[in-house]
Structure 1
Amino acid sequence: MKNLLALTFTAQLSVLWPSVSHSADFAAYEQKFPLKGKKDFHAVLEEGEALLTQSTLTAQQRTYVLHRTALHLVRLGEYNRAQHRLDALAIHLSAHPDDSMQGKYHWVSGDLAYRLSDIQTAQTHFIRASEFFSRTQDWRMLSHSHRMIANAVAKGSPDLGAIEHVTLAKHYAELDNNIPLHNAAFDTEARIYKLFGQLDRALKSRQTQLDWLKKQKAPNKDSVSATYYGLAEIFIDFGDHQAALNAFKQSYQYDQQMNERLYMGQNQIRIGEQYLRLNDLNSARAAFEQAKAINETLSHKRNLGWAIAGLGRVALAKKNYSQAAELIGQGLNLITSDSNPELYLKHLVMYANALSHQNPNLAIEKLEPSFKPMPTGTMVEAAKVLAFAYQQQPDFASALRYQTQATELLEQQAEQSRLTRLEAKKRDTELHLETLKVNQLQSGLDEQKRQNKLQSVILAAAIIVLLNFFLMFYLYHLKKRKVMEKETAVLNQALTLKQQLLADVSHELRTPLTVLKLNIEALQHNLITDPDATYTLMQSRLSMLNTLIADIYELAQADTHSLQLDLHTRPAKALFDELLSAIQPLVAQNDLTLNAQNTLSETLEVTCDINRMHQIFNNLARNSCHYSNKPGQVSVTIAQQDEQLVCHFEDSSPGVSDEDLPRLTERLYRCDKSRSRDLGGSGLGLSICQKLTELHQGHLSLSHSSLGGLRVTLTLPLTARAPSGD
């Protein structure tokens, strides 16, 4: 029908302007519009440029060609040429006014400004375009205009007034009976809600869009697939990976029906990622394998690299670090930082993670140049990977520096999250007001005859809402002030603790460093009569420094939840007999007597990290050796209470005061001189024991010992061993 009308219009032009010798060329050019599907924009642009050189074009024909060539230049990204062409069109329209073409001039000008990020200019042009299309009652272009106004408003500032224009875009698309435009308006609505952090409304919009699409006589499968994909993205933001997985699978099924292999491959990648989140490694591997096979047939480098890297992530989850590094490295070479910097950086961190377990130097070399202290999930993981890699070297100072950065970035993320939640609450209040405006607008579009009556009702509602808004605003600021006061108090307390910790660490480092400096100067000036003894003393002080740094780093790992346990289930009695045997020589060489009693049943089992349990017992034993008078006693009793294992670790005098007792697990806390750390401890042993016990789902407490010293009580969960069959 449209082609028939174009031919009729061309025939009329040939009658009105018989001197036009190239009307056939124009007719052929005109019939190529409107554009649908993939077109060769360069070829069509060349045809239009050739037509503009012809002096025989009518004013209407020249207007048409100027508009179309400007549109093509914008789509091809030739923005300077597009602006010159639009300037020529504006001059031409001033001499030959045409409301429809005036609207299209402003629409293309708005599109150009939008692509150049000149949002205010874009918004102005789109509003002017809607005014001209209202005069001509061009519902299709009116829908386009209001949808682009919504995009410009949302991109320019967090203004939920954009939803009003989305509502108008839907309305005019419905008047034009234009399903693709109506669907595009739904897409814009969901994107705006998601941009403003209103995930529940974005989800509702997508679900409404899906229901609306399925009610159509012939639902567009491509649109349904894209809507399911958008739903999955929102579910990911909610953290509901099972729902996201189901949505991606639905999207994949529609792509499969249309044989859209590009989107099939990408959907399988996203499906694999959700399986990884759900810890279903076999299903994740199958999805990534399928994505790899699809993208190999398409020769799509980025998605192929993404799929191969996904297989590497599965290997990484299985702790197969060699295979993980090889696969993720292959994927990185195909993704490249130029094509998708964010995706590349995310996988670079995973690549370095895999390398850090086998080749920490290479991991540092690959990742460190890309590390930036920004509060993003990727950078937090990067800091943790670098900390682990430096620990493997071992370079505890660098490891501690990156572990500290990871902690700081996590704190910044938490603060950003808090501010985002406050902003979301504020926008939610604004959105309630905006909803009234949208409802008012929809009522006006549906029933224009009742406008006068509705105005009085809306005015009363607006007054009530305004009063509620001011009340909510007042309560919000009142609550915010209280929260800020509380946060200030907590922050001041944290700063005080931080300053105390820094002072204690400085003291702990200064003492051995001073001893080292004095001995080095004495050696330098030949003031030492026994160099070997001096070297032994210096080695002892260096060992103390290294122990202190290692202990501080281990506590920093525990604070950022980076300390992982290698859990195994062992018979409880045999394990604790082994732990007691391990500390026997240490206790004996310090002139202490070990009295041990293990009454656990042979049928009981305990799940723990055996190396960490040795560390706990070794720390407790060293604590007793350092701070007990010689000769002395160490008593260890291990028994079952209900479903728990209870271990009492006691030593002889001297003891600690009631005031000092609850503070012994504080880091670097100084007690009286009888339990001074000058005897060799780092001051962090009990703190580490407490952290490791908590990681084992246990509890550590301190009390006075009947032997005159300190009593440490360790509680761990137990399980009964199933009887073996005959």
Structure 2
Amino acid sequence: MKNVLALTFAAQLCALWPSVSHSADFAAYEQQFPLKGRKTFRAALQEGEALLTQSTLTPQQRTFVLHRTALHLVRLGEYDRARNRLEALASHLSTHPDDSMQGKYHWVHGDLAFRLGHNQSAQSHFLSASQFFSRTQDWRMLSHTYRMAANAVAKGSPDLNAIEHIALAKHYAELDNNISLHNAAFDTEARIYKLFGQLDRALESRQAQLSWLGQQSEPDEAMLSSTYYGLADIFVDFGDHQAALDAFMQSYRYDEQVNDHLYMGQNQIRIAEQFLQLGNLIAANKAYEQAKVLSESIAHKRNLGWAIAGLGRVEFAKKNYPQAANLIGQGLALINPVHSQALHSQHLVWYASALSHQNPAQAIEQLASFFEVTPTDTMVEAAKVLAFAHLQQQDFAAALRYQTHATELLQQQTEQSRLTRLEAKKRDAELHLETLKVNQLQSGLDEQKRQNKLQSVILAAAIIVLLNFFLMFYLYHLKKRKVMEKEAAVLNQALTLKQQLLADVSHELRTPLTVLKLNIEALQHNLITDPDATYTLMQSRLSMLNTLIADIYELAQADTHSLQLDLQIRPAKALFDELLSAIKPLIAQHELKLNTQNTLSDTLEIACDIDRMHQIFNNLARNSCHYTNKPGQISVTITQQAEHLICHFEDSSPGVGDADLPRLTERLYRCDKSRSRDLGGSGLGLSICQKLTELHQGQLSLSHSKLGGLCVTLTLPLVQPAQSDN
């Protein structure tokens, strides 16, 4: 009996063994990823591929492995396999949805598109990823995603959206308390400004980055090194080689502290280049030799070739042309022309320049097929080298031709600079006109604010005087102390309400005005590729301001009882059918479904101002459109209850909290304090609806909708039929 039990247990253990083994394999695979540098991408990819062949993976485990292997394939440059793996991941997620992994799928897809140069597609995927990470409140990935989106935008053309994305990347890095991501956002910001030609702003960004790193309790040496390296690059563009040299040396000191031979070698190369520019050939040669030793120690081919070629440049400066050609040629052979195209092109021209002094025919052979008539610094230098080489061969016609090319390319560069300056002046003139318009608008708003403030003060003063008169008349002898306390309380309340209203209005005006200011600055600095679209955007912002002012004025009229209704008696059913028809296009435009039910009798009548009723329905429809997720629905039900008409206006999710519900009709109140005015409303729609409903002797109430959103209920009195005489 014991033998039978033992055999049975052994059989069960053997059956379970593959599953246990596979689970352990996945656990080991998953555990390695938080530990950076533990394994190479190739080794991790092979482990993942082996796991995908196992049928015992859970759906969540398979999602994880599909995502990681796709990421590794992108990192390894195997883009076709990466695309196929992403398709497999998308198919798997369609049956096993996961918001976090959906976001990571879009992130890897965006990274792939970015590496392939498909910048528009990359932007789209990164922004889709941000939506999923927002749902899961993954601040780390949100910061990472917006930084990559900024890179994709900047790689296409100068666009202010890139800087906006970087601001979001910093914000979410701060929420996550992630120093490395915050530092990476600074790096990207400076690089984008440098790419846009805004060297002064790039310099400001690097200085702000250094200040921010200095505020950290334990500044990271690698981050400080990278920041000083970027700062030095900006000084190089400014032509300040001494400042660049100092910054590169500071960067090298931090790399030396962490013993990073890769960046130590690259820093020594850049230090040598600055010494070369400053004419210190001995120091330049020493730095290149040190860079060579460091690069050899880690077998880094590109930096090794760069350093060897640099030694050749020192020999060239000494006019030792054969040795210069030999060294630059050796270095050029180590620089990959695909992965380091710009660096390879520069060294090819230097190589040909060294050859032209001893072997002009070989120099011509090296550069003739490479040369293009494009106005870049490299091509200008290539044309000059070709002209010199042909001159050495006494081929004066070819020498003249290439010298002419060099001159023409320089002229084209000069012309491009001139046209850029002219375009900037033209934009400045246009911007000046727009600035005048904005200033006029601002003057009008200031005048309106002064008038509103004066009216508020007069109204408050009148109320206080009346209260004082009656209180003093009735309670002078018996309640003098209470009267004074009441007077003070009323005054403070009036002042508080006034200050709150002014603060809210100022905030709502500041948001669109800030957007206008940013667009004007973007036009001023020539960061806008499509001025007409920017002017259209500015016009829409001005329209929003006009709407806000109009709504404030209308509420002020209602408060002072100067808003009059043009009441007409209309058939209730036909009127509300007309109101529903009027809002259908607006709801359809926002891709929402409208369900309506009007059960009123044809004999019922209502007294109302038709234009104001349209305004109420339009405001309610816009409110639902702005704050309803797509796809969603809106339901309007109109019924009779005794002597009143009841209209329920409901929408689907998202809903509002119990604490926010009774405050929605407060002026300028928003549940989400971060919600921008870009949704198009003024924040006064429900307040206006409530006032207009009350003027119709009705009521407006708010509750939770059965559809998951908000339910607005309008209760309006019906016209009573005339009593017939008997």
**TM-score range for the pair, normalised by the shorter chain length:** 0.5 to 0.7
- Alignment partner, residue 290 of structure 1: 290
Name the CA distance, whole Å, in 2 between partners of 1:287 and 1:270: 9
- Which whole-Å deviations, capped at 9, do the CAs of 1:220-271 have from their partners, x for residues lacking one? 1112111111111111111111111111111111112222222222211111
Distance 1:423 1:298, change over 3 A: farther
Which residue of 1 is the match for residue 164 of structure 2?
A: 164
SS at match of 2:109: helix
Between the aligned partners of 2:45 and 2:431, the Cα distance in structure 1 is: 44
Unmatched 5+ stretches in structure 1: 1-16, 437-449, 474-726
Q: Determine if contact 1:429/1:469 at 8 Å carries over to the other structure.
A: no
Counterpart for residue 145 of structure 2: 145
**For 1:368-379, what aligned pairs fall within 5 Å after superposition?**
368-379=368-379
Match of 1:441 in 2: none
* Residue identity matched to 2:241: H
Counterpart check, 1:44 vs 2:97: no
CA contact (8 A) 1:315 1:324 kept: yes
Distance, in Å, in 2 between the alignment partners of 1:472 and 1:194 is 13
Separation in 2 of the partners of 1:345 and 1:316?
17
For residues 451 and 70 of structure 1, the distance between their equivalents in structure 2, rounded to whole angstroms, comes to: 49
Identity of aligned residues (%): 69
The answer on whether the counterparts of 1:309 and 1:331 sit within 8 Å (CA) in structure 2 is yes
State whether residues 431 and 520 of structure 2, in contact with CA within 8 Å, keep that contact through their aligned partners in structure 1: no
Amino acid at match of 1:102: Q
Q: How many angstroms apart in 2 are the aligned matches of 1:456 and 1:463? A: 11
Q: Distance in 1 between matches of 2:49 and 2:92?
A: 16
Q: Is the 8 A contact 1:139 1:176 kept in 2?
A: yes
Matched, 1:455 2:508: yes
**CA separation in 1, counterparts of 2:180 and 2:429?**
32
Aligned to 1:56, the other structure's residue is in SS state coil
Task: Within 5 Å, give how 1:284-433 maps onto structure 2.
Answer: 284-335=284-335, 337=337, 340-421=340-421
Distance 2:404 2:431 in 1: 40
| Corresponding residue of 1:30 | 30
Residues 147 and 185 of structure 1 are in contact (CA less than 8 Å); yes or no, is this contact kept in structure 2?
A: yes
* Structure 1 residues 540-559: aligned runs within 5 Å: none
Give the match for residue 201 of structure 1. 201
Residue 532 of structure 1 corresponds to: none
Comparing 128-137 and 354-363, the one that deviates more: 354-363
Asked whether the 8 Å contact 1:183–1:209 carries over to 2, the reply is: yes
Deviation at 1:374, TM superposition (A): 2.1
Paired residues for 1:6-85 under 5 Å: 21=20, 22-85=22-85
- Report the Cα offset of residue 171 of structure 1: 0.9
Contact 2:431 2:523 in 1 (8 A): no
Q: Is the 8 A contact 1:306 1:335 kept in 2?
A: yes
In structure 2, relative to structure 1, the CA distance for the partners of 1:253 and 1:431 (3 Å cut) is: farther
Q: Aligned pair in 2 of structure 1 residues 427, 341: CA closer, same or farther (>3 Å)?
A: farther
C-alpha displacement of 1:298: 3.6
Work out the CA distance in 1 between the residues paired with 2:86 and 2:108: 8
Deviation at 1:430, TM superposition (A): 12
2:238 paired with 1:185: no
The residue type paired with residue 96 of structure 1 is H
Paired residue type of 2:192: I
- Post-superposition CA distance 1:268-322 (Å, at most 9, x none): 1111111111122222222222223333434433323322322222222233334
1:306 and 1:141 map into 2 onto residues whose CA distance is 36
1:251·1:267 contact (CA, 8 Å) conserved in 2?
yes
Distance in 2 between residues matched to 1:120 and 1:418, nearest whole Å: 31
Query: Would the aligned equivalents of 1:198 and 1:428 in 2 still touch at CA under 8 Å?
Result: no
What per-residue deviation string (whole Å, max 9, x for no partner) do you get for residues 4-45 of structure 1? xxxxxxxxxxxxx99965433332232223351252333333
SS in 2 for 1:370: coil
Superposition pairs for residues 262-277 of structure 1, below 5 Å? 262-277=262-277
Instruction: Report 1:534-613 matches (<5 A).
Output: none
CA-CA distance at 1:143 after TM superposition: 0.9
| Post-superposition CA distance 1:388-426 (Å, at most 9, x none) | 233333232222222212111111121233345567789
Number of the residue aligned with 1:249: 249
Residue 166 of structure 1 deviates from its aligned partner by 0.7
Amino acid at match of 2:24: A
Given that residues 146 and 166 in structure 1 are in contact (C-alpha distance below 8 angstroms), is that contact kept between their aligned partners in structure 2? Answer: yes
Deviations 1:181-237 (CA, angstroms, capped at 9, x unpaired): 111111111111111111111111112112212322221111211111111111111
Superimposed CA distance per residue, residues 613-668 of structure 1 (whole angstroms, 9 cap, x where no aligned partner): xxxxxxxxxxxxxxxxxxxxxxxxxxxxxxxxxxxxxxxxxxxxxxxxxxxxxxxx
Q: Give the stretch that moved more between structures: 58-67 or 227-236.
A: 58-67
Pair 412,93 (structure 1): closer, same or farther in 2 beyond 3 Å: same
AA aligned opposite 1:148: M
Distance 1:92 1:357, change over 3 A: closer
Q: Distance in 2 between matches of 1:330 and 1:246?
A: 29
Correspondence for 2:280: 280
Matches within 5 A, 1:663-678: none
Report the Cα distance in structure 2 between the residues aligned to 1:190 and 1:324, rounded to whole angstroms.
36
Aligned partner of 1:718 in structure 2 is: none
Change (3 A) 1:181 1:387: same
SS at match of 2:267: helix
Q: Judging changes above 3 Å, is the alpha-carbon distance between structure 1 residues 366 and 197 closer, same or farther for their aligned structure 2 residues? A: same
Aligned partner of 1:454: which letter?
H
SS across alignment from 1:378: helix
How is 1:665-704 mapped onto 2 (pairs within 5 angstroms)?
A: none
CA distance in 1, matches of 2:281, 2:524: 52
Kept in 2: contact 1:147–1:165 (CA 8 A): yes
- Contact map agreement 2:102 2:129 (CA 8 A) in 1: yes
8 A Cα contact 2:160 2:522, kept in partner: no
Q: 1:92 to 1:285 in 2, by over 3 A?
A: closer
Decide whether aligned partners of structure 1 residues 428 and 46 sit closer, same or farther in structure 2, where only a CA change above 3 A counts. farther
SS in 1 for 2:369: helix
| DSSP 3-state at the match of 1:291 | helix
Which whole-Å CA distance do the structure 2 matches of 1:209 and 1:424 have between them?
Answer: 30
1:482-561 alignment to 2 at 5 Å?
Answer: none
Query: What SS does the corresponding residue of 1:216 show, helix, strand or coil?
Result: coil
Distance change >3 Å, CA 423–CA 212, structure 1 → 2: farther
Give distance in 2, aligned partners of 1:172 and 1:427: 35
3-state SS of paired residue (1:161): helix
Does the Cα contact within 8 Å between 1:349 and 1:378 map onto a contact in 2?
Answer: yes
Is the contact between residue 232 and residue 245 of structure 1 (CA under 8 Å) also seen in structure 2?
A: yes
Q: Take 2:319 and 2:167, find their aligned partners in 1: how far apart are those partners?
A: 51
Q: For residue 160 of structure 2, give the secondary structure of its aligned residue in structure 1.
A: coil
Indicate conservation of the 8 Å contact 1:196/1:424, yes or no. no
Give the Cα separation in 2 of the matches to 1:69 and 1:132: 21
Structure 2 matches for 1:461-472, cutoff 5 A? 461-462=514-515
The one-letter code matched in structure 1 to 2:368 is E
Q: Distance in 2 between matches of 1:335 and 1:373?
A: 24
Q: Provide closer, same or farther for how the CA distance between residues 364 and 282 of structure 1 changes in structure 2, counting only shifts above 3 A.
A: same
Q: Secondary structure at the match of 1:373?
A: coil
Whether the 8 Å contact between 2:424 and 2:524 is mirrored in structure 1 is no
In structure 2, the partner of 1:154 is: 154
Instruction: Measure the CA separation in 2 of the matches of 1:271 and 1:179.
Output: 28
Contact 1:249 1:271 in 2 (8 A): yes
Could you tell me the TM-score, scaled by structure 1's length?
0.55
SS at match of 1:36: coil
Question: Residue deviations 1:502-553, cap 9 Å, x none?
Answer: xxxxxxxxxxxxxxxxxxxxxxxxxxxxxxxxxxxxxxxxxxxxxxxxxxxx
Q: Deviations over 1:585-636 (max 9, x none)?
A: xxxxxxxxxxxxxxxxxxxxxxxxxxxxxxxxxxxxxxxxxxxxxxxxxxxx
